Amino acid sequence: MEAPDGSTLRDYLALLDALSVLCPFTEPVRLGLYALPIRGPGRFFGGEEAVLDAVAHTVRDAVGHEPSLGIADGLFCAEIAARERVLVAPGMTDSFRRAQPLGALGRKDLVTTCRRLGLHTVGSFADLERARVAERFNTHALVLHRVARGELSELATQRDQKLGQRLARLRGEGERRDEQVGFFGGRGAGDDRAQEAAHRVRRRLGASAVVVASLRGGRVPEDRATLVPWGSPAGNARDSAPWPGRLRAPSPAMTLQHRVVVQLRDAADKAVVMGSRGFLSADPTTLLFSSQVRRDVVWHAGPWPSLERWWGSSRRRAHLQLVLGSGEAVLVVCESRHWWLVGIYD
Amino acid sequence: MLPLGEPWNALVPKGGLRRGSTIVVQAPPGLGGLSLALSLVTEASTKGHWAGVVGVDDPGVVAIAELGIDLRRVLFVPRPRGAWAECAADLLDGVDLLVVRPPSRAAHGAARNLMERVRERGTVLIALCEPGAPWPLPADLSFNITQAEWATSSRLDARYLTVRIGGRGEAARVGEHLVVLPNRKGRAAAR
């Protein structure tokens, strides 16, 4: 039950922030429920159970009671696992799902009808042919059938569609609200002087020599930065927090406009590649530029895959932070089987 | 005086940047020089002053915003090519602080002209250089990064910079300080 004074939402946001420190891809699902891609942070905490310990610890610190945690593939099974406090091993999610009672799919009419057919588990419903489901049940059931078969990883009703907006609004209230002014809006003498100076540089070097920067929504620094020639019409891009799975501060002081292809090598000088499940093939020990310049990698964090990758699929990217032997830190991204240097923490 | 934020206000004479002065930030490439130079702009920027950034090829816009700089009052000239000194001179009249990263070793004459102009206009010049290509003239105030170390957990958390602060006159009392830049929020902080 949500308290009328908004404290439920505030508490939820506070815990979201605390969990995001642990794992930058913590997702708000609905009040009382969060999802974390366990296989990312697992590496740093020494296995899945260690991550669960860290999560439980964070929750205890934040709200004072024990959370109900579980692990499984996909939001549908993950929620059941969490409720029942079980850890479903990799590859076992399928049988876990099939063993669930039909009620797990959340529709009483489906349970009643199926019981008459002698079907009691998600698995037995999944075994029905799609055509038979279409003929005997309504359209809702077709979607549920796909969930039961594991073709869809979550039920539409699991997520609170308005939660993101509500959290954004809540976060916005706490911050100073700037009135949206044009680039030279609210003009003063200083603005006029700056404008003249920018004109002088443009006359010297050309129209695109002077640029201005702004932020827009996005997950990673290179998506969030906008640099446009000074004097071009202001875009309507706004940075609307929170962006799920945003790479947290600090961000690289240099973000390369044209990313640079690099290679990561392991101790045996073999290329480090990203597996389809978000693992690195080995720990990177060398960063190799196309100029054949080699730099030692002494520490790395990540990979942080794009969030879409975990509960669905679209653009596949994974970011990795590296600290090099001489003390510099850099941000690299894996996309289309290549590694790219995208940022330098100068 | 232009205001300085934490931790610099406690570390430099009078806690601010004197108008007309030249500040040199020197650091090996990639070890925090850019963050340091930009962090000197933060407080003045939030107070409504304009800043220019010349010669920083690929400014990390998100990091700059995290430092607390108001992006609406920053003009960037990322690639001034051979004309960095001229661009800097052009911008000096229009901004209150100017960060310049010369693409190569700054010539003696260019540096002198620029510093004279800065004195006339009452701007603050922040020159970002590497030890291999130092600023050719003595600065009013200098920041030398001698060591950079990252604190990490499951990600990059914060960087500890050892900074030697020195300069002319009152600033001559050389001091070595450990500051956090960036911290977990991307800002500069005292340890």
Looking at residue A67, its pLDDT comes to 92
Reply yes or no: is the peptide bond before residue A303 cis, omega within 30 of 0: yes
Burial of A213 (0-12, 13-18, 19+ CB in 10 A): buried
Question: Which residues in chain A belong to E strands, given as ranges?
Answer: 27-30, 33-35, 211-215, 225-229, 254-265, 286-289, 294-305, 318-324, 329-335, 338-344
What's the CA gap between A292 and A287, in Å, rounded? 10
The model's pLDDT over A52-102, given as tens digits with 9 standing for 90+, comes to: 888 898 899 888 888 999 988 888 999 999 999 888 887 788 899 999 999
Q: Find the closest chain A residue to B52 by CA distance.
A: A194
Q: Find the closest chain B residue to A300 by CA distance.
A: B155
The range of the structural domain enclosing residue A212 comes to: 193-235
Domain identity same for A276 and A217: no
B53 at A interface, C-beta within 8 A:
no
Q: Do you know the residue count of chain B?
A: 191
Chain B, 70 to 129: residues with Cβ < 8 Å from chain A are 71-81, 83, 86-87, 90-96
Q: Find the closest chain A residue to B33 by CA distance.
A: A346
Domain identity same for A329 and A286: yes
Domain identity same for A282 and A339: yes
Say yes or no for a CB contact (<8 Å) between A227 and B78.
Answer: yes
Q: How many CB pairs under 8 A join A and B?
A: 196
Within 8 A of B154 by CB-CB distance, chain A residues are 22-23, 41, 44-45, 301
A330 lies in some domain:
yes
Residue B104's Cβ-side half-sphere holds a number of Cα atoms within 13 Å equal to: 4
Nearest by CB to residue B62, choosing from A195, A224, A301, is A224
First-to-last C-alpha distance (Å) of chain B:
25
How many domains does the structure of chain A reveal?
Answer: 2
A273 lies in some domain:
yes
Domain identity same for A288 and A229: no
The model's pLDDT over A289-332, given as tens digits with 9 standing for 90+, comes to: 877 788 999 999 988 876 544 444 456 788 999 999 989 999 99
- The interface predicted TM-score (ipTM) is 0.94
Q: Is the pLDDT of residue B21 over 60?
A: yes
Looking at residue B169, its pLDDT comes to 75
| Beta-strand pair B189-190/B97-100 | unpaired
Q: How far is B95 from chain A (nearest CA, A)?
A: 6
Mean pLDDT over the full length of chain A: 81
Of the candidates A316, A321, A314, the residue with the CA atom closest to the CA atom of residue A342: A321
The model's pLDDT over A212-254, given as tens digits with 9 standing for 90+, comes to: 998 887 778 888 888 888 876 655 455 555 666 678 889 999 9
Between A4 and B116, where is the model more confident?
B116
- Domain range list for chain B: 2-144
A129 lies in some domain:
no
Strand (E) or helix (H) holding A77: helix A75-84
A311 lies in some domain:
yes
Q: Find the closest chain B residue to A251 by CA distance.
A: B63
Looking at residue A335, its pLDDT comes to 84
Looking at residue A24, its pLDDT comes to 61
Extract the tokens encoding A305: 């895959």
A277 lies in some domain:
yes
A63 at B interface, C-beta within 8 A:
no
Q: How many other CB atoms are found less than 10 A from the CB of residue B116?
A: 12
What's the CA gap between A324 and A116, in Å, rounded? 65
Nearest by CB to residue A249, choosing from B72, B153, B184, is B184
Domain identity same for A231 and A260: no
Residue B54 near residue B99 (C-beta atoms within 8 A): yes
Chain A, 194 to 213: residues with Cβ < 8 Å from chain B are 194-198, 200-201, 204-205, 209-213
Of the candidates B143, B135, B130, B139, the residue with the CA atom closest to the CA atom of residue B188: B143
What's the CA gap between B52 and B59, in Å, rounded? 12
Interface test with B, best of A21, A45, A181, A201 (most B CBs within 10 A): A201
Binned at pLDDT 50, 70 and 90, residue A179 comes out as very low
A76 lies in some domain:
no
State the pTM of this model: 0.65
Q: What are phi and psi of A209, to 5 degrees?
A: -70, -35
A325 lies in some domain:
yes
A298 at B interface, C-beta within 8 A:
no
Q: What are phi and psi of A183, to 5 degrees?
A: -55, -45
Fold that domain B2-144 belongs to in CATH: Rossmann fold (3.40.50)
Say yes or no for a CB contact (<8 Å) between B159 and A345.
Answer: yes
Of the candidates B38, B37, B44, B52, the residue with the CA atom closest to the CA atom of residue B16: B44
Binned at pLDDT 50, 70 and 90, residue A183 comes out as very low
A212 lies in some domain:
yes
